[in-house]
Structure 1
Amino acid sequence: MVSSGALFIAVFLACVVEAVEALTIVLAAGTSRDWRSAISGVIAGVTVLALIVAALGPAVTAIPLGGLRLVVGGLLLIFGLQWLRKAILRAGGLKARHDEEAIFASELAAAQAAPAGRRGFVADWYSFTLSFKGVLLEGLEVAFIALTFGANQRNIPLASVAALAAVVVVAVAGVAVRAPLARVPENTMKFVVGIMLTSFGIFWGAEGAGAVWPGSDAALLAVVPAVAVFALVLVVLLRRAAAMSATAGTTVGGMAS
């Protein structure tokens, strides 16, 4: 079994990233439109999310451990490799870095341009739906991370506490500054979380398939650094390729002139 500390940190960091993205959407809805409607959307999203988690939680824990690790390992690999791919491309200079201020400005402009409309008790339906969708979609990823990590380690309470702590920390910070948390090193966090999710996916997926790791959980001390080194090597190669391409372009341009 992975240590409680490692489980808490992995879930907390992954959930912080999702919580920051949800906060950006809610702030855009509330700042540009109507705070009461935006908060109503948050409450509705959290309520639906709680019902989904209450239904899925017992079902996940009922799966035999071997099958659970195979399924969870595969899902974590899908999520982890997606995050890691984007993080490598950003660090390598081939993809724009994730900018919460730019995303906030984009969401703000879209919200301001949307027509106003009241439905039932909701004064501004656009603010409500924007917050609802943001909280529900990002919240589902938080729930997935907490449930999969917690169920696989047979410690859903600790994983839930880590997820809740991440959401509370981000929410409190957001309320305090009422602005997107642009100072959070989200690109670095996504790189680290991508490495962690990919590493756990490899580890648990192999275990679920029947493989036996040398040293049991201690093998993670080799798997995580191996994935990190591989990712960093790709970043270096991409940066060199980008630099060589830029140099070649400059040379060709100079000869043409």
Structure 2
Amino acid sequence: MNAWILFLTVFLACAVEAVEALTIVLAAGTSRHWGSALQGTGAALLVLAATVAALGPAIGLIPLDPLRLVVGAFLLVFGLQWLRKAILRASGHKALHDEEAAYAKQVAAATAAATDSRGIVQDWYAFTLSFKGVLLEGLEVAFIVVTFGNNQRDVPVAALGALAAALAVAAVGVAVRAPLARVPENTMKFVVGTMLTAFGLFWSTEGAGAHWPGSDTALLVLVPAVALLALGYTALLRRPETPERPLPRTQAEGIVR
């Protein structure tokens, strides 16, 4: 896989997770206490750094073929879940993900919670809300970085893609101090779900002992094939728009007059 393709895939996948984590941190900071929210964010990042430092070398010791088989299976499950949700949203069977609505929900819950200080943390609720949000989304980022990086034997490029995504989303969030509602997250999830599914198919097949024609260049066919299949399902499942009923003739004449 080309280093730029690896970087772009990790960047897009991690950007989606970063947007969701930022929404939670902004809700905790604006409605409760910024200092406690940032403390929770920092604590979660420390836990994530320790997790990646422990898991990275351990995964690197596993032989490549079994690693690709296991990771490919996980990526298939992970990617198909994203792709399924994206198809349902694009076809009208599931509500579009709304960061503004998620932000408002988090703010309402945070405002209603009682204030409790513990040690150096002035607002324990803001701390735990940020900690849980960043940790849960960050674990998915760590999984993406470790698996993609080790499979391609290029962890630095994968880590750079994740770092670039986190910094880009954080910079925009600090600038606007609002949920990134204009980011086409559902489109990003469709693209990332397609790429994760394609990579999962590619790696699990190679891990099972088969070989793709053209090696890594087979991804240039596999990714568009998965995308076309997903678009086909979207078109097949798309709900028809309810046609507007024509006004009765008497009402129509009244409007014209």
Give the alignment's TM-score, normalised by structure 1. 0.93
- What CA deviation, in whole Å up to 9, does each residue of 1:177-213 have, x standing for no partner? 1101111110100000000000000000100001110
Alignment match, 1:213: 212
Alignment match, 1:72: 71
- What CA deviation, in whole Å up to 9, does each residue of 1:53-108 have, x standing for no partner? 11101011111010111011011001100000000000000000011111001111
Alignment match, 1:12: 11
Q: Secondary structure at the match of 2:182?
A: coil
From 239, 243, 249, the counterpart of 2:240:
243
Alignment match, 1:150: 149
1:120 aligns with 2:119: yes
- What CA deviation, in whole Å up to 9, does each residue of 1:116-162 have, x standing for no partner? 11111111000000000011010000110011000000000110011
Alignment match, 2:134: 135
- What CA deviation, in whole Å up to 9, does each residue of 1:39-64 have, x standing for no partner? 00001000111111111010111110
Alignment match, 1:233: 232
Q: Secondary structure at the match of 2:213?
A: coil
Rounded to whole Å, the distance in 1 between the matches of 2:57 and 2:215 is: 27
Rounded to whole Å, the distance in 2 between the matches of 1:228 and 1:147 is: 25
CA offset at residue 222 of structure 1? 1.1
Aligned 1:1-257 pairs, distance under 5 A: 2-239=1-238, 242-243=239-240
Rounded to whole Å, the distance in 2 between the matches of 1:52 and 1:226 is: 35
Q: Which runs of 5+ in 1 are unaligned?
A: 251-257
Amino acid at match of 1:243: P
Deviates most, 112-121 or 186-195? 112-121
Give the alignment's TM-score, normalised by structure 2. 0.93
Q: Secondary structure at the match of 2:115?
A: coil
- What CA deviation, in whole Å up to 9, does each residue of 1:198-242 have, x standing for no partner? 000000010000111011111111111110011000100111xx2
Amino acid at match of 2:154: N
Amino acid at match of 2:75: L
The share of aligned pairs that are identical, in percent, is 68
Q: Secondary structure at the match of 1:96?
A: coil
CA RMSD, 1 decimal = 1.1
Rounded to whole Å, the distance in 2 between the matches of 1:192 and 1:218 is: 19
Q: Secondary structure at the match of 1:104?
A: helix
Q: Secondary structure at the match of 1:90?
A: helix
Count of matched residue positions in the alignment of Structure 1 and Structure 2: 244
Rounded to whole Å, the distance in 2 between the matches of 1:180 and 1:26 is: 10
Amino acid at match of 1:194: G
Rounded to whole Å, the distance in 2 between the matches of 1:95 and 1:224 is: 24
Q: Secondary structure at the match of 1:160?
A: helix
Amino acid at match of 2:140: E
CA offset at residue 167 of structure 1? 0.4
Give the ranges of 4+ consecutive aligned residues of structure 1 lying more than 3 Å apart after TM superposition. Answer: none
Amino acid at match of 1:206: T
CA offset at residue 31 of structure 1? 0.4
